[in-house]
Amino acid sequence: DTGVSQNPRHKITKRGQNVTFRCDPISEHNRLYWYRQTLGQGPEFLTYFQNEAQLEKSRLLSDRFSAERPKGSFSTLEIQRTEQGDSAMYLCASSHTTGQPQHFGDGTRLSIL
């Protein structure tokens, strides 16, 4: 069990640029979740996959946000035309089909200049 891996750990970019984050889940987990966490808050759910199917995406923050999990293994989260308000920690978690417990990665810290 190598744990959930997220890359990069930190991303600094200028407003208006596109960014992409990668998440590698625990290998036998078929569920993968994305969250956003801002300072002093708990994680806020964005979207999740079961295998390659994206089962919930209505809570993505805007149409600038999209996620993929093309082969049911790793996943990417893309933010287009970044804004100052997108600065946050983006967390990925994986689990078995039962959804619990969720195992989290260390996140990607996004800073928008």
Residues of this chain that interact with another protein (CB under 8 A) are 4, 6, 33, 40-45, 48, 55-56, 91, 93, 95, 98-107, 109
Rounded to the nearest whole angstrom, what is the least distance from the CB of residue 11 to another protein in the complex?
Answer: 14
Which residues are paired to 49 by β-bridges?
32, 54
Rounded to the nearest whole angstrom, what is the least distance from the CB of residue 81 to another protein in the complex?
Answer: 27
- Contact (Cβ atoms closer than 8 angstroms) between residue 59 and residue 46: yes
Handedness of CA 77, 81, 86, 88 (dihedral sign): positive
Closer to another protein at the Cβ: 11 or 43? Answer: 43
Backbone φ and ψ for 86, nearest 5 degrees, come out as -80, -10
Closer to another protein at the Cβ: 86 or 90? Answer: 90
